[in-house]
Amino acid sequence: MSDALANGPAPAISVRELCFSWPKGEQVLKSCSLEVPKGEFWMLLGTNGSGKSTLLRLLAGLLQPNSGEIRVEGQMGFVFQNPDHQLVMPTVGADVAFGLVEEKLSFGQVKTRVREALAAVNLEMLERRPIYALSGGQKQRVAIAGAIARHCEVLLLDEPTALLDPDSQLDLVAQVRSLVKSRAITALWVTHRLDELNYCDGAFLLEQGELADKGDPERLKGRLLAL
């Protein structure tokens, strides 16, 4: 375990010397190492092309590293930047239930899981609402509810507020923080919005595929504002 986390909770996400290059040879991550403590909300910062989204996709198993080690404790849920890329069913309730098809649950168990998950993201009144009728922020909450219904312990979010209006942005990040604290979920959130740092427990800064800094979000915010 790293010195920064030696006295804190055990890591739910651990990355060791991770390297990744695209097939044509462009190196994206260079010996990247980091840890996210269990039950905490951390953010991943960096300019475009720094490797933030690539790292998240490696953690989710959507890409395979060239070398290095990835350890994630618990089932993962992934929330894309554009929720339309992952909401596949016509209604809110059906979409949240979709991820449960492989668990061989009874109809009653599925209904309970769906209702509990929607209540966790304050969408319990929209179970029958068509997906097309939702706002962007509501769609992102449905995606998060799908992960909660599957009892995911680790939540990976790739710039989930990028397509939202300012009010919806902060509403969503506050919602995720509440879930992390009330349900002992571990979250890693990719962002470039400094105001979102007010809600996290810690942050990582990537520069050109390497971990440049980590720790207190206010200190990192000050460093970035000074650039």
- Farthest CA pair distance, the chain: 56
pTM attached to this predicted model = 0.91
Cα dist from 22 to 39, 44, 135, whole Å = 32, 21, 35
* Inter-residue contact 66 to 74 (CB < 8 Å): no
Cα separation, 178 vs 209, in Å, equals: 30
Please count the other Cβ atoms lying within 10 Å of the Cβ belonging to residue 154: 22
CA–CA separation, 29 vs 204, rounded Å?
A: 14
- Report the amino acid identity of residue 75: Q
Q: Mind listing the pLDDT tens digit for each residue in 43-60?
A: 999 888 889 999 999 999
Q: Is the pLDDT of residue 154 over 90?
A: yes
Q: Predicted confidence band at 2 (pLDDT cuts at 50, 70, 90)?
A: very low
Backbone angles phi, psi at 119, to 5 degrees: -65, -35
pLDDT digits (tens, 9 = 90+) for 49-98: 889 999 999 999 999 999 999 999 999 999 999 999 999 999 999 999 99
Delimit the domains of the chain by residue range: 1-74+187-227
Q: 52 φ, ψ to 5°?
A: -60, -55
pLDDT at 205: 94
Give the number of residues written for the chain.
227
Q: Residue 102 — pLDDT band, cuts 50, 70, 90?
A: confident
pLDDT range class, residue 9, cuts 50, 70, 90? low
CB distance 114 to 149 below 8 Å: yes
Rounded to an integer, what distance in angstroms lies between the CA atom of residue 182 and that of residue 176? 10
Instruction: Enter the CATH code of domain 1-74+187-227.
Output: 3.40.50.300
For 211, residues 6+ apart whose C-beta sits below 8 A from its C-beta are: 32, 33, 34, 204, 205
